[in-house]
Structure 1
Amino acid sequence: MKSDDVAKKLRRLQGQIAGIIKMYDEDRSCLEIIQQVAAARSALSSVGRDILTGEACKCASVKPGEDFDKILKSLLELT
């Protein structure tokens, strides 16, 4: 994934977090806030996988194959 795409996703996440803070400050319902927190967590996990995948592909000294895929899968389980 291009660094511009990752930065765009991170800025979108920043906006989501700002929205959650505003909701909290406005005493919005717990359910609404938790739904937004869950969405932000999912988005953060997704961008983390994107970053990890991009870096793993850059750093790999072998072509993606079975061993590479196993290593990548193990790393992605961390996110």
Structure 2
Amino acid sequence: MKNRLEMYKALKAINVPEQQIEAVIQALDSDTHFSSAGKFDPDIAPFRAELSRFEVSLIVNISVMLSLVVAILFAGIAFIQ
């Protein structure tokens, strides 16, 4: 709202007609709505949930593999001695 008032005052100061002032402000408002609409994506929440599940699954798989490697190393050391 503050930006609209400032824009109105600036355009009025340079003697722009009222109709053109309103057209400019409406155009800027619609452009602002379109640019902010791209920032909010309602489909991002399911994607983040799936990504979180994948992250947990990946951590579990890496932990299991690391445990197996450590167990094989200990078995190899015990076999050598």
TM-score range, shorter chain: 0.3 to 0.5
- Rg larger in 1 or in 2? 2
Higher relative CO (Cα under 8 Å, sequence separation at least 6) belongs to 1
TM-score by length of 1: 0.41
Query: Per residue, is there more helix in 1 or in 2?
Result: 2
